[in-house]
A and B are shown apart, each in its own frame.
Chain A
Amino acid sequence: MTTDVTTDAIPAAVATRIPGERSRGVWRTVKYVLLILFALVILLPAYVLFVTSFKGLGDATPANAWKLPESWETAGWSRAWEQLGPALGRTFAMVIPASIISSVLGSMNGFVLSKWRFPGADVVFTLILFGMFIPYQAVMVPLVQLMSNLGVPSGVPSLIVLHVVYGLPITTLIFRNYYAGVPVELVEAARVDGAGMLRTYGSIILPISAPAFVVVLMWQFTSAWNDYLFALFFSTSRNGPVTIALNFLASGQLQDYSASMAGALIASVPTLIIYILLGRYFVGGLMAGSVKG
């Protein structure tokens, strides 16, 4: 797992083979034309978002759809900020505790399921894993009932609980796969020295877990930040996260395109920053979550 796709050296001998030199040149050209074409297509929506967000109210018309703004205005951004600001704060307040708690629990589970096993560990793991795949619609009706019976307030508190609970399968999976790659001897040595389970976890496993924690925290942060389904059932536009506020802003009767587009950008900034800074780990996290380690 955590395959790093960037560091991969290709033997120079392969790249400089003589036969088929011409067809290789054609192939290279085709390849780059395709790569650039696809990149442009992928960036098209980003262009629209950016450009439209700076247009004035009269400028965001179909006729000017693909043009640059007549004058670059920030009114759309301030209208969006007004609506999304409080929701942004709530989203941080929800996402940070939710990702930390589910990561810590996932780490302990992963340790127990890979390096300090008990009879039936594989069955337990498979049963936990199933929770990752269920459509939440299949539990939503009784879940709403359960949460209100438990007295968890709507909004941030409910969403923290839900993101921790339903995050557990994936955090457990990633940590388990990560720890599976840790040499058994490390754990055995600690055991021979008379260290108990918690000592072994705290002094051997936890100190080498940083890379897995980065991946899992990023994963949990992004998925909780981008969640809309739980937010819709367990919050309102007054106490809900930024996805709710953004949808509220964008689907209003008055189609305020520049504010909606600015809002979409504002709502995406935290995850985009994380992605740009830690993108390599992100890819690693994807691998862990899908290709079995």
Chain B
Amino acid sequence: MSSTVPSTARRPRRARGRIGGHGWVAPVLLILPTVIVIGVFVYGLIGSNIHTSLQDRHNIGPSQGFAGLENYRDLFTDDDFIYSLRNLLLYTATFLVGTLCLGFLWAWLLERKARGESLFRAIYLFPMAVSFVASGVVWRWLLNNAEGDRASGLNRLFGTLHLDFLQNPWWTNERWGILAIAVPAIWQLSGYVMALFLAGFRGIPEELREAARMDGASEWQLYRHVLFPQLSPVALSAIIIIGHMSLKVFDLIMAIAGQTNYTTQVPATQMWIEFTRGDYAKSAAIGTILLVIVAILIVPYLVSTYRQERRR
């Protein structure tokens, strides 16, 4: 499929994109395998999953017939599932605020050539090279819920430092347990957000700073009114990336609390449990709900990106 497509006849056509005039059959052929594979594995399977979620299929056998939205109605009237959604929301909010604040602070501290910058940067960033399963091993130990004399992990450290009031039952608390899972997640990904902001800072032309200084801006005014506003696209990217990761949280919970722990239950863990039970319809319905939640965050972003591309 070498690109000797006879395109001479169409030369005068309006150039589309950056280069015009060549035939479009060859590039389409080249990308076709990917388009087919993504079409089947992403869009086809999403469709198939929605179809499954509308069936009466609650054990390994075939569907017992069409169930309409019943599976969804069951989920949204189930206190357990509502609790999962609430957990997911709390977790996402904490994870987002935590990583954005820390990442921004670190980038700001390192933004002007700090001594040992590359060392600090490496230390802040290294946790993200590690899998959630591996970091889960140590965090399960650190977040041990025993207190007082039997305390271990962080509670023990707080005791030794005479900060006993900080001791808490971590992820076993029914109301706020899920926030304990956000702690290792923040530990792991703040460095990533820092790297994003750092690149943002470094992308600001030096002339902007100079100009602001010429105008007599103080260091704080320079940051507040000149540099920070330049970083809002970076902040948006960070929110999209961290937000969609957060909504998919699964590995960390499996590694720290295990799949059957109630206090750290989220839709993804429930989906896995229903799957192992053979309740495919319910499992598929939970998957679809997760997709809708993520799409609410992602689709506007993709659409606006697409519009920008067109304008370029």
Task: Report A's interface with B, CB cutoff 8 A.
Answer: 3, 5-6, 8, 10-11, 14-15, 20, 31-32, 34-35, 38-39, 42-45, 48-49, 52, 62, 65-66, 105, 108-109, 111-113, 115-119, 121-131, 133-143, 146, 165-166, 168-169, 172, 184, 187-188, 191, 196-199, 222, 225-229, 232-233, 243, 246-247, 250-251, 257, 260-261, 263-265, 267-268, 271-272, 274-276, 279, 282-283, 286-287, 289-292
In the assembled complex, which residues on chain B have CB atoms less than 8 Å from the CB atom of A267?
131, 133-134
| Given A48-B142, A137-B286: A10 and B131 interface contact (C-beta under 8 Å) | no
In the assembled complex, which residues on chain B have CB atoms less than 8 Å from the CB atom of A279?
122, 125
In chain B between 232 and 277, which residues have their CB closer than 8 angstroms to a CB of chain A? 233-234, 237-238, 240-241, 244, 247-248, 250-251, 254-255, 258, 267-268, 271-272, 275
Residue ID in chain A nearest B47 by CB atoms = A142
Please state if B35 and A42 are interface contacts (CB–CB under 8 Å): no
List 21 A-B residue pairs with CB atoms under 8 Å apart, sorted by A's residue number.
A43-B123, A45-B142, A62-B146, A116-B3, A123-B306, A133-B298, A135-B290, A137-B291, A138-B46, A138-B291, A139-B42, A226-B130, A226-B134, A229-B250, A243-B251, A246-B133, A247-B254, A261-B137, A268-B129, A279-B125, A290-B240
Residue in contact with A141 in the complex, picked from B135, B139, B280, B303, CB distance below 8 Å: B280
In the assembled complex, which residues on chain B have CB atoms less than 8 Å from the CB atom of A168?
34, 37-38
* Main secondary structure on B side of the interface with A: helix
Residue in contact with B45 in the complex, picked from A108, A139, A226, CB distance below 8 Å: A139
Residue in contact with A52 in the complex, picked from B120, B141, B196, B219, CB distance below 8 Å: B141
Residue in contact with A11 in the complex, picked from B38, B46, B144, B206, CB distance below 8 Å: B206
Known: A169-B38, A184-B19, A250-B255. 18 other contacts (CB 8 A): A3-B202, A5-B199, A34-B109, A39-B120, A49-B137, A117-B19, A142-B48, A227-B131, A228-B255, A233-B275, A243-B131, A247-B133, A250-B140, A251-B255, A272-B130, A275-B129, A290-B196, A290-B241
